[in-house]
Chains A and B, each alone.
Chain A
Amino acid sequence: MASGVKPRVKVPKSASAGEVVTLKTLISHPMESGQRKDKDGNVIPRSIINRFTCDFNGQNVIDVKMEPAISTNPYFEFEALVPEAGEFTFTWYDDDGSTYTDTKPIEIV
């Protein structure tokens, strides 16, 4: 597991039923592309997050397949439909098999 991986997510605290909200996610990760070389000319092996998903109460919002061309500290902004109160689950899948998750509740007003 890459060290110091920390997901950060911005979700509004509340929404009205059926509202479309904007979600912003950022995760600190080096996203080593496998193209770079170290001082001695050896290729630094690829180590990236290859997939990101966001679900709301078990239903999928977005599923992103990521390649090495995604920048360090991958950032995503997208919109989700909120039909009812519940919880967003964000999951990042690392090349080394580990997953990082974050959850955020949202209320209906």
Chain B
Amino acid sequence: MSLTRRDTFGLALGALALTVLPFRANASVDDMIAEFTGGADIGDSGVDLTAPEIAENGNTVPISVDAPGASEILVLAAGNPTPAVATFAFGPLAGSRMASTRIRLAGTQEVIAVAKLEDGTFARTAKTVKVTIGGCGG
């Protein structure tokens, strides 16, 4: 394969988009986490996120979150056009602090779970999911 001028230009544009996009996505993820925690420090332990390592179809990726003693769990997908996925709030009759659902992922990316624990502290975990076919149409 020989590279034409047009190909080279396209590649350069693609590379540029790749370097610029993650920064933008991450900024909004950080904002959303800050809004959820109110700027409090976030610990590493206390929340579990179960997600497949490789998801063939980004349209339905099964995930489950579990954080003993949590009152709320925020789930974010850092690489989606809109990173918010869901917020689970547990009531007085919640049998445990776990929930599972199925989510859409636009591509290979990190899924983040932030839990608000009952003692007022926060815990965060993240897991990278490889997606073969993205789930946001297009």
Interface residues of A (CB under 8 A from B): 20-22, 33, 35-37, 55-56, 59-72, 74-83
Cα A64 to Cα B72 in complex, Å, equals 9
Structural contact, A69 and B77, CB atoms closer than 8 A:
yes
How many interface residues does chain B have, given as a range? 20 to 34
Distance to closest chain A CB from B54 (angstroms)? 17
Q: Which of B5-13, B99-107, B121-129 contacts A (4 or more CB under 8 A)?
A: B99-107
**Closest chain A residue, CB of each to CB of B105:** A69
- Which of B59, B84, B87, B94 is within 8 Å of A80, CB to CB? B94
Tell which of A64, A72, A81, A83 touches B99, judged by Cβ atoms closer than 8 Å. Answer: A64
Interface of A is mostly: strand
A-B contact count (CB 8 A): 112
Alpha-carbon separation in the docked complex, A65 to B77 (Å): 15
Residues of A within 8 A of B90 (CB): 61-63
Within 8 Å CB of B59, what residues of A? 71-72
Bound CA span A39–B73, Å: 38
Judge whether B137 and A37 touch: CB under 8 Å. Answer: yes
